[in-house]
Structure 1
Amino acid sequence: MTVSLMVHEDFYSQSVASTVEYRVLMPPDGSRVDGLPLILHLHGAMSSSAFLDVAKPSYESAWTTGVLPPAIVACASTPTSGGFYIDYSDGPFWERLVGTELPEHLATQFALNESQAVLGFSMGGYGALKLAFRAPDRYRAVAALCPAIFPAESLDEVPAKNRPAILGELNHAMGAAPYGYSGNCVPTLLRQNIDVVRESALKILVDCGNKDEFALHDGSMYLHQLMLDLNIDHDWESLPNCGHADRGAERLAKALTFLGSALA
């Protein structure tokens, strides 16, 4: 029995002034159903929309068991260096692409309702939290798996151990206008929009392995403690003896169950 249908397309993006490739995963009859929710699936560093191929069995299982309602799942290919799901001063505008332009484009191709959720892994987890905290009333839920976030809220305060290699590039890129570092820093963005986050129905899930090779557990713990201090309801899981990409299928299954409860 066919459980899902994968569509591989591209479109010209005004936000990044180039053609962007993307994949859409949906139930086999999804294109004939009126008004499905949209799940934005954000890939990690050094990856592409092909990441959705890896996630496909988990979505199929979630649909088969009923923990996730039928949905349109979309993943766009975005770069790491020069990308990072950040809007740069004079472009390109990668956050705008995934958060605004891609959903608007998909609405012309598929029957969508008003419900949206966003899920991301690593760099994608950073992008997912940024989208959700910037516009919390737009999303039903956000799930960030080992998000690439830091245990500090300014460029110079991020410890050296938390910005190895590509994470150092991300730390510097976060200072890009028009938002500047504060507008690209997940914890600061939460502080700035705290009233809207509190008033929204946004459901938040964050997980990270306590053996994360890139020390991302520190940033996730920082965000977790901040949400506790700010009295923001959320689901948090520190995974014992778990590295950056360990237990990926299990963690994705939990995330899809979480999103499913919010979208049901």
Structure 2
Amino acid sequence: MERIEHHASFGGWQEVYQHQSKQLNCTVNFAVYLPPHLKGEKLPVLYWLSGLTCNEQNFITKAAAQKYAAEHQIILVAPDTSPRGEDVANDAAYDLGQGAGFYVDATQQPWADHFRMYSYLTEELPALINSHFPVNGKQSIAGHSMGGHGALIIGLRNPAQYQSISAFAPIVAPTQVPWGQKAFQTYLGADQNTWRNYDAVTLIQQTSQQLPILIDQGQDDPFLEEQLKPQLLQQAAQIQNYPLILNLRSGYDHSYYFIASFIEDHIRFHAQYLK
């Protein structure tokens, strides 16, 4: 594991690391924000998963999250959105291939050799964070768009590992929208029963252990009606009596201007469960 960036930020350090991933079978970057803390002090972790076309840089340079992570003494971890490299399969479309891992473990070739973001994020990356940074064992997960989908499905499938979940403009029902259907057909194949393992609406209907969920959705988001459909998750949560907060934000779109406007709320939300 090699540190490739190191910047002072709000009394702490914004860093980027690079390592050879066994799950992804390639070299991978991930960002870590270490808030100011006392020597020997252990802190909770908030994982952030970014959206289509993003990498570890988008969140750390655009979300303005470090200030609030420093105030609440939370370590922020922001991985890349997919495996990358000359030997990694890719597609010319922005919503498939490198930059568009969809946080699944691909079963179809040529993707299966590298596109194992689900296992990377639930097994390999947490093991690295736990062994190299001053963590106390408590963690939560958040994300945006495709990354909001990732945060929801990872949290819902692994409720014992997380304290809380949040998302900005998440893809909540990928089996029912074009982005998800295209990705799942490509990565997982034609058997739609396998798709359901990565669909938040399906998972919230099946889970017996509940985590608090916060979602913010811009009402001027151009992807709202076709790709995001937060009302589907809200309806499923109401039927299950699941603790879900959905905020519809007038005037806001899908951009990091939206995320930066409400990231303080999300970090404060997680902080109450990470204490």
- TM-score interval (norm. to shorter): 0.7 to 0.9
Within a 5 Å distance, the mapping from 1:228-247 to structure 2 comes to 228-245=238-255, 246-247=257-258
8 Å contact from structure 1 (residues 12, 18) kept in 2: yes
Q: RMSD value over aligned CA atoms?
A: 2.5
Query: CA 1:56–1:241 in 2, change beyond 3 Å: closer, same or farther?
Result: closer
Q: In the alignment, which residue of structure 2 is the partner of 1:211?
A: 220
Residue correspondences, number = 244
Query: How far apart are residue 167 of structure 1 and its match?
Result: 5.3
| AA partner of residue 219 (structure 1) | K
Higher RCO (C-alpha 8 Å, min separation 6): 1
- Which amino acid in structure 2 is aligned with residue 109 of structure 1? H
Mapped partners of 2:187, 2:215: distance in 1: 21
Counterpart for residue 41 of structure 2: 34
1:251 pairs with one of 258, 262, 266: 262
After TM superposition, the score normalised by the length of structure 1 is 0.83
State the partner residue of 2:124. Answer: 101
CA offsets 1:191-229 (integer angstroms, 9 cap, x no match):
23x2123xxxx2211121122211258521110111011
Question: For residues 69-109 of structure 1, what are the alpha-carbon distances to aligned partners after superposition, in whole Å with 9 as ceiling and x for unaligned?
Answer: x1221111123623111111144311111222101011121
Alpha-carbon distance between aligned partners in 2 of 1:170 and 1:253, rounded to the nearest angstrom: 31
Match of residue 21 from structure 2? 13
Say which of 146, 149, 157 aligns to 1:126: 149
1:70-89 matches, cutoff 5 A = 70-79=73-82, 81-82=96-97, 83-89=101-107
Cross-structure match for 2:196: 182
Amino acid aligned to 1:259: H
Aligned letter for 1:81? L
Write the distance in 2 (CA, Å) between the matches of 1:25 and 1:42.
14
Contact 1:133 1:190 in 2 (8 A): yes
Distance 2:26 2:193 in 1: 22
1:8-48 CA distance string (max 9 Å, x none): 11111111111111110011447x33321111111111011
Moved more, 54-63 or 245-254: 54-63
* Percent pairwise identity: 22
Amino acid corresponding to residue 186 of structure 1 in structure 2? A
Between 214-223 and 8-17, the greater mean CA deviation after superposition: 214-223
Work out whether residues 119 and 144 of structure 1, in 8 Å CA contact, stay in contact via their aligned partners in 2.
Answer: yes
Separation of aligned partners in 1, 2:217 and 2:56: 22
Q: Any conservation in 1 of the 2:205–2:237 contact (CA below 8 Å)?
A: no
Q: Residue type of the partner of 2:103?
A: Y
Q: The residue matched to 2:237 in structure 1 has which SS? A: helix
Which residue identity lines up with residue 53 of structure 2 in the other structure?
A: M
Match of residue 226 from structure 1? 236
The one-letter amino acid paired with 1:184 is: Y
Unmatched runs of 5 consecutive residues or more in structure 1 = none
Which has the larger displacement, 208-217 or 93-102? 208-217
Q: Aligned partners of 1:140 and 1:183: how far apart in 2?
A: 21
Q: Which amino acid aligns with 1:86?
A: V
